[in-house]
Structure 1
Amino acid sequence: MMDMFYSLVDVNQRFNRLAFDSLCIHHLNFAIKHFDIHQYATYNDILDRICSKILPRINDKVNKLTVDPLSMEQILCAVHYPQLHSLSLINYQPEILSQHLSNNDTLYHLLSKQITYLTVNIYSKKEEISNGKKQNMLPLILFIGHKLSDLTFLQEMQTKYITISYLNTSHIKCLSSTVTKLRVNVNTFDDCLYLLNGSIKSLSTLIIRIYKIKCSSSKIDNTKKLVKLKCFALTTNWRTYYYDEQVVPLLRRMLNLEELTLHLSVIKNQSTYIDGNQLYDDFLNYMSQLNKFIFNIHTHIVNNSININLPSNDDIWKSFIKRGFYSIDIYADDKLINNRGNCHVYSLPYQFNEFLYMSSCFQGGKFDKVRMLFMRDERPFQYKLFQIISQDFPFLQKLTIFNLQSQENEQHHSSILIIFNHLLTLDLSNAHNDYVIQFLSERITCLRCLSHLIIKYETLTTVTNYFTNDSTRFNCSKIKSLGICGPFVRSQNFNSYFPFL
């Protein structure tokens, strides 16, 4: 965007009118992509010229800026932006952001006096920072941002997120009086309770992703009514045993909620599947103002030493119709295997960018928004299922298969080639060899964009016959990143099999 903008300026009057049009310059994006970092010298020259020649001519028309650690100081300090109200800080390492918040007077002034919409994107692979109480910038930003009304604070490339529940109650009560909308990723359910405990006094919208919902260790009251909350969205990465003990009591507090989004996977013992009747009894009956409910709820039941009649797909569907939810889809196991079963219910159209815990009874649908799919079952995944996935998840970028069961009739693969046009990452570290053969064999599966493979070394050597098997050579030859746990010796055959590693 910056290159195009720079190339149009001062070519002629017509291009100037185009470049300086208010629709073009109200939002300026100066972030450089990670894979373009080798072009930093050229980028820096362009940045210098923009700061000295262009920004002084348009500074009063800029409403939104997107900057990264390479551009932030130059751009923010180049000129004064009287109309700047939205700021995005992206691709930041936590320690760099901490330094900028502490030492950059211009950034501090903008956050405290001017910015109403702020997006912070933390990019880090260091797990200790995700837990890092020393590096936690969210409370600091909330405290500084006297004008903030809308805050997004997210992390990328981390196994965990931030923790704020260690803060003492007296501190957390005074974080912000202006923020009405917060989007954040946190580690624990306690973090969610803290954010809803009055620390953000005007909060009406909370969009939260919790790494894992476990038993609460907090003394926070989970019964006080949340009368100001109008919109709530909850997503979790992992399956939880604590739906009844944690999630349901929280949702019952939201008496004035108008919009609810849930993306949950729930483990229930000695139970049946979650259906429309249970959702109504659990919390929907408490939300008289609710007019929008978007959901994807997966139930994994474990019924040891007990015989419970499972509802059919039709029974579950009717339970939602009865409660006024007509645009839904369902698929569920009608019989248990090893005393376990799965059920998925979700609103239509499917609104989430991930689909977690798909089981073998999946029948298909329309999932254009999904970029990440996690499959897990104790029943085998058959070839036909992957045909459905390749067609119904057309923009899938990451696929994880967790299944140690061999495929039935895997030798009778269809003559129809399975094609994944956008799949970048494939995780087969917990997959039976049959799935590895299916995906790495070019005669069975076409992986046009695959660049990252996660797999066990023993599995890889078996399927590729120690990197001599021609049928799997082509798909492996495109791999640029190989995730293998533990050390191994790279043979000559390995190097020729993976030329980009």
Structure 2
Amino acid sequence: MKHSPVELNDLPDEILMIILKKLNNVQILYSLIGVNKRLNTIVHDPIFTSHLTLMRCFSDDSIDPLPDPILDRFCLQILHEIHHKIQWLNLESSSMKRILLATNYPNLFGLGLYDIEIETALSLVIELHICLKRFSDCLYLLDGRFNKLHTLHVDIDTIISSSDLTNNNQEKLPDLKRFSLYCRMPTNTCNTLIEPFLQRMPNLEKLCLNVICDKKTFTDGNELKQNIINHMPRLERFEFYICSGIAVRNQIYLPSKEDIQHTFRDFKDDQVISYVDYFQEDPYSFCHIYLYPDQLKYYYNVTNNFPGGLFTCVHQISLYDDRPFEHEFFLRIAESFPILKMLSLKNSKPQNNKLHRESKNDNQNFSIIKYPYLTNLTFYFAHDDYIEEFLVDTNICLPDNAVHLNIDYEALNRVTHNYTRDKTRINCAKLGSLCLNDRRLPNYAKDYFPLVYV
């Protein structure tokens, strides 16, 4: 190849990409961007533009800014060309300000800051997306250290803990303009913790709440106005899904769906949806209220009263009722939650139409239901009929190699007839992992679960 006339531009795109992937992205962009139309197209690929480290890193862990000629060209030309493709920037302190002010970065979601004082770094953060274990961690973050923060999105596991109740700072948060709170688990602190926390945000313009609350009374429009909206005179958009649960044993007055809906009569937007679930056998009842459901992540205690709709961001739901879930219900769930990843089911009632669904002659009358993104199924406290519909029947299609199943050991034995059931009609081969309440799957069951380590 020493005397070969072949040049870089003569190589096929596939070979060129293999070579360029082994080089530094900054060197590639600096050297090839603008050289010719073909190379320009190649180096604009997200592989080279999405993550940039605009500094020099040495083997002794020392860091220097880019040489002035390279930095000048990036700030004056290259960053302007690829700014909409940049998702992550790694920067060092001396050139950080110039790079960040060179252009706007509409799709930037990550920023690595090196050789910089922590106070300076925190003062630069204006938008923060975080996942936390406890709500108290969120309270600590808002103690003044992020003094430029105007947008905060918080996704937490739980709000209920003793530390949450003892570390609630009461200082106002006047700079916050947008706030979102998503919580996976129920909490009994909506009135004592969440609402006082929100009242510290007087200049909020957009608020999103996705919570389930254990309370003495249902959350309705009157409570939202009195405890939240009236404390935010600049609020322009309020997205919410709130599921409130109450024990009805000692309730004198039980509000209807119409009663709850009437409390939203003065809301600017008349698209608030509400419904109430009262159960014959369960003393606990639920009220669901929501508005603008397009950004919500979790939906709790879906029952047969679920009115449907399209929830394009919800990836985790729980199903509960003391009336049977029929096949058509699961079809409605798949249509309403197109990106569903985690599904848990609690229902002890057998299906009424099970025999009709299992009939070979009538099977074609049942639609095939697809859950293409499902990764986690939980069937604790589920009647065997529902386990059979998901694992044995061919009317529900699970994704290959992806699903983790949480189920009682005895229930799995029953629905598979102790692993002797016809395997041609079984979804078990698609399961990637199992949790059997600390029990081990017997070795002879391996053929049913070829992807699960026994």
Q: Same fold (TM over 0.5)?
A: yes
In structure 2, the partner of 1:339 is 283
Question: How high is the TM-score relative to the length of structure 1?
Answer: 0.68
Equivalent pair of 1:442/1:472 in contact (CA under 8 Å)? no
The structure 1 residue matched to 2:385, chosen from 420, 434, 437, is: 434
The letter of the residue matching 1:445 is: I
Equivalent pair of 2:297/2:314 in contact (CA under 8 Å)? yes
Residues 407 and 442 (structure 1), Cα distance of their counterparts in 2 relative to 1, 3 Å cut: closer
Equivalent pair of 1:197/1:220 in contact (CA under 8 Å)? no
1:234 matched to 2:181? The reply is: yes
Residues 422 and 142 (structure 1), Cα distance of their counterparts in 2 relative to 1, 3 Å cut: farther
Q: How does 1:240-259 map to 2 (within 5 A)?
A: 240-259=187-206
The letter of the residue matching 1:363 is: P
1:195 matched to 2:146? The reply is: no
Equivalent pair of 2:240/2:293 in contact (CA under 8 Å)? no
- Show CA shifts across 1:377-419 (max 9, x none): 4554333321211222233233222334433453343731341
Distance in 1 of aligned mates of 2:441 and 2:242: 44
In structure 2, the partner of 1:47 is 21
Q: How does 1:325-474 map to 2 (within 5 A)?
A: 325-334=269-278, 337-413=281-357, 415-430=365-380, 431-449=382-400, 451-454=402-405, 455-470=407-422, 473-474=425-426
Give the alignment's Cα RMSD to 1 decimal: 4.0
Structure 1, 183-192 or 393-402: larger mean CA deviation = 393-402
Equivalent pair of 2:275/2:287 in contact (CA under 8 Å)? yes
Deviation at 1:420, TM superposition (A): 1.2
Residues 294 and 53 (structure 1), Cα distance of their counterparts in 2 relative to 1, 3 Å cut: closer
Does the residue aligned with 1:327 lie in a helix, a strand or coil?
coil
The letter of the residue matching 1:439 is: F
Deviation at 1:13, TM superposition (A): 11
In structure 1, the partner of 2:229 is 284
Q: How does 1:22-37 map to 2 (within 5 A)?
A: none
The letter of the residue matching 1:344 is: H
Residues 458 and 308 (structure 1), Cα distance of their counterparts in 2 relative to 1, 3 Å cut: same
1:296 matched to 2:241? The reply is: yes
Number of equivalences: 400
Residues 141 and 78 (structure 1), Cα distance of their counterparts in 2 relative to 1, 3 Å cut: closer
Residues 449 and 113 (structure 1), Cα distance of their counterparts in 2 relative to 1, 3 Å cut: same
Does the residue aligned with 1:177 lie in a helix, a strand or coil?
helix
Distance in 1 of aligned mates of 2:432 and 2:153: 35
Residues 237 and 371 (structure 1), Cα distance of their counterparts in 2 relative to 1, 3 Å cut: closer
1:207 matched to 2:153? The reply is: yes
In structure 2, the partner of 1:88 is 88
In structure 1, the partner of 2:172 is 225
Q: Percent identity at matched positions?
A: 29
In structure 2, the partner of 1:324 is 268
Residues 50 and 256 (structure 1), Cα distance of their counterparts in 2 relative to 1, 3 Å cut: closer
Does the residue aligned with 2:219 lie in a helix, a strand or coil?
coil
The letter of the residue matching 1:226 is: L
Task: Return the index of the structure with the highest Cα Rg.
Answer: 2
Distance in 2 of aligned mates of 1:120 and 1:484: 38
Deviation at 1:337, TM superposition (A): 4.2
The structure 1 residue matched to 2:51, chosen from 66, 88, 91, is: 66
Distance in 1 of aligned mates of 2:319 and 2:266: 30
Equivalent pair of 1:378/1:404 in contact (CA under 8 Å)? yes
The structure 2 residue matched to 1:486, chosen from 425, 438, 452, is: 438
Equivalent pair of 1:423/1:449 in contact (CA under 8 Å)? no
Distance in 2 of aligned mates of 1:257 and 1:142: 30
Equivalent pair of 2:398/2:427 in contact (CA under 8 Å)? yes
Deviation at 1:316, TM superposition (A): 2.2
- Show CA shifts across 1:428-454 (max 9, x none): 331221210111123432335463231
Deviation at 1:260, TM superposition (A): 0.6
- Show CA shifts across 1:129-176 (max 9, x none): xxxxxxxx99x9995483x5xxxxxxxxxxxxxxxxxxxxxxxxxxx2
Residues 77 and 193 (structure 1), Cα distance of their counterparts in 2 relative to 1, 3 Å cut: closer
Does the residue aligned with 2:22 lie in a helix, a strand or coil?
helix
Question: How high is the TM-score relative to the length of structure 2?
Answer: 0.74
Deviation at 1:423, TM superposition (A): 3.8
Residues 450 and 321 (structure 1), Cα distance of their counterparts in 2 relative to 1, 3 Å cut: farther
Residues 419 and 433 (structure 1), Cα distance of their counterparts in 2 relative to 1, 3 Å cut: same
Deviation at 1:472, TM superposition (A): 7.0
Equivalent pair of 2:302/2:320 in contact (CA under 8 Å)? yes
Distance in 2 of aligned mates of 1:472 and 1:421: 19
Deviation at 1:46, TM superposition (A): 5.8
In structure 1, the partner of 2:127 is 181
Equivalent pair of 2:182/2:297 in contact (CA under 8 Å)? no
Does the residue aligned with 1:434 lie in a helix, a strand or coil?
helix
The letter of the residue matching 2:147 is: K
Does the residue aligned with 1:185 lie in a helix, a strand or coil?
strand
Does the residue aligned with 2:240 lie in a helix, a strand or coil?
strand
Deviation at 1:188, TM superposition (A): 1.8
In structure 1, the partner of 2:4 is none
Does the residue aligned with 2:389 lie in a helix, a strand or coil?
helix
Gaps of 5+ in 1: 1-8, 20-41, 90-105, 122-136, 149-175
Structure 1, 432-441 or 111-120: larger mean CA deviation = 111-120
Distance in 1 of aligned mates of 2:128 and 2:95: 16
Residues 260 and 392 (structure 1), Cα distance of their counterparts in 2 relative to 1, 3 Å cut: same
